[in-house]
Amino acid sequence: MPVEIEAKLKVESLEAVRERLQAVEAVFVRDVTERNLQYDSADGRLRRGDSVLRIRSLEVHRGAALPATLTYKGPRLPGRVKHRTEIELAVPDAESATGLLEALGYVRLCLLEKRRETWQLESCHVELDELPYLGSFVEIEGPDEASITRVQQRLGLSDRPHIPQGYIALLHQHCQSHGLPFAEITFARAAEHTGTRSEP
């Protein structure tokens, strides 16, 4: 069964990381805005079990288009970087996948928007992520821990601690602690709550 292996790092700004990627001749892949719909069983079994069921669709700004996907991620496995089972299927469209999950009795937990820029460096994908409320992150996904560690070093990010939680867990904590609604986490909503302007 496929296993996702990645490291998530918090950064103050993505610009310095982007400049470093260019300096080491990483290959730009695409720039997108994601729309992620997170689902759970009616009794909350998936979330309690540290599992994820998600429908993702993309608005591609630069790079090749990608289909919508239906993804299951299992509980995190032991290791310095995050390991977890991942099963991902391309679907005709997000609306069809939504209808399927809801017909099976799954309920939507939240909608999450995310801006993501993807680069290829050695055998790893480097994702430059921006999220409402949380700010900027770098995710390095590769075939093994050694590859991820090497790319992290090449990007000058060796001093950054790995964040084990997923974005949904981090956002749920943030919303709870700040009294914010969790059902729809978008850049426009974040701008309303923080008084800042949401960029397209």
- The pLDDT value recorded for residue 157 is 97
Question: What is the rounded distance in angstroms from the CA atom of residue 75 to the CA atom of residue 1?
Answer: 13
Report mean pLDDT in 10-residue bins for the chain, 200 residues: 93 97 98 98 94 96 95 89 94 94 96 98 98 98 96 97 93 95 94 66
- The reply to whether 12 falls in a domain is yes
Structural domain range at position 43:
3-194
- The reply to whether 171 falls in a domain is yes
- The reply to whether 161 falls in a domain is yes
Concatenate the DSSP letters of all residues of 51-78 into one string: -EEEEEEEEEEES----EEEEEEEEEES
End-to-end CA distance of the chain: 37
Taking the complete model, does pTM exceed 0.85, yes or no?
yes
Query: Residue 19: helix, strand or coil by DSSP?
Result: helix
Bridge-based pairing of strands 68-77 and 82-91 is antiparallel
- The reply to whether 199 falls in a domain is no
For residue 18, what are the contacts with CB-CB under 8 A and spacing of at least 6?
117, 128
- The pLDDT value recorded for residue 200 is 44
- The reply to whether 200 falls in a domain is no
- The reply to whether 45 falls in a domain is yes
Instruction: Give the residue among 173, 167, 200 at the shortest CA–CA distance from 36.
Output: 167
Question: What is the rounded distance in angstroms from the CA atom of residue 56 to the CA atom of residue 64?
Answer: 16
- The pLDDT value recorded for residue 146 is 96
- The reply to whether 148 falls in a domain is yes
- The pLDDT value recorded for residue 121 is 98
Instruction: Give the residue among 119, 178, 130, 121 at the shortest CA–CA distance from 14.
Output: 130
Query: Residue 11: helix, strand or coil by DSSP?
Result: strand
What total number of domains does the chain contain? 1
| CATH code of residue 151 | 2.40.320.10
Query: Residue 29: helix, strand or coil by DSSP?
Result: strand
- The reply to whether 118 falls in a domain is yes
